[in-house]
Amino acid sequence: MISLEARAKRIKVAVFDVDGILTNGGLMLGDDGLEYKIFHSQDGLGMKMLSNTGVRLAYITGRKSNVVVKRAENTGVHILYQGVDDKLAAFNDLLEQQDVSAEECLFMGDDVIDIPPMRRAGLAITVPHAMPLVKEYAHYTTERQAGFGAVREVCEMLMKAQGTFDAQMAPYLK
């Protein structure tokens, strides 16, 4: 059995679902037809720091929203798949486009649509409120809730495993 740390050490691309991972899963729809999402600032800084270490970041999400594009731009996410019905097909395309193996990818999701890429990824992560079946396929369930620092927890775990955490914290600890 491969340890969590060993899995984390080899990650080159971290892939995140959006709703239920970067947000708390709630969908806020206005009378104006617009969709609103609440993101956690700690997750954003965690993604920026992780990106600074050379780990590539991606979103694969079933919904399509301009706010997701904005969030990706603000957090160092350069790989974006939106409006995806088949997340495994998107994940497989990402592997080919990024020239990485599945073992070099993390996939973080919370619902059954996320199970196929989670089963293929080298490191599958979920959150406490995930559907029970999803938890069965996760190598790790975060302590923090989705939309409240769960992604930051994962970013820090990767940086610690890869030996890049201290360098990313150094500017804040002078």
Contacts 24+ apart (CB under 8 A), 111-117: 111/17, 111/20, 113/62, 113/87, 114/17, 114/87, 116/86, 116/87, 116/88, 116/91, 117/15, 117/60, 117/87, 117/88, 117/90, 117/91
Specify the length of the chain in residues.
174
114 is in an annotated binding site: no
Please provide residue 17's backbone torsions phi and psi, each rounded to the nearest 5 degrees.
-70, 165
Q: Bin 63: left if φ > 0, else alpha if -120 < ψ < 50, else beta.
A: beta
**Rg of the chain over all Cα atoms, to the nearest angstrom:** 15
110 is in an annotated binding site: yes
CA dist 9 and 50 (Å) reads 13
Positive or negative CA dihedral for 29, 32, 33, 38? negative
31 is in an annotated binding site: no
Residues annotated in a binding site for substrate: 19
Q: Residue positions in the annotated binding site?
A: 17, 19, 110
| Binding-site entries for Mg(2+) | 17, 110
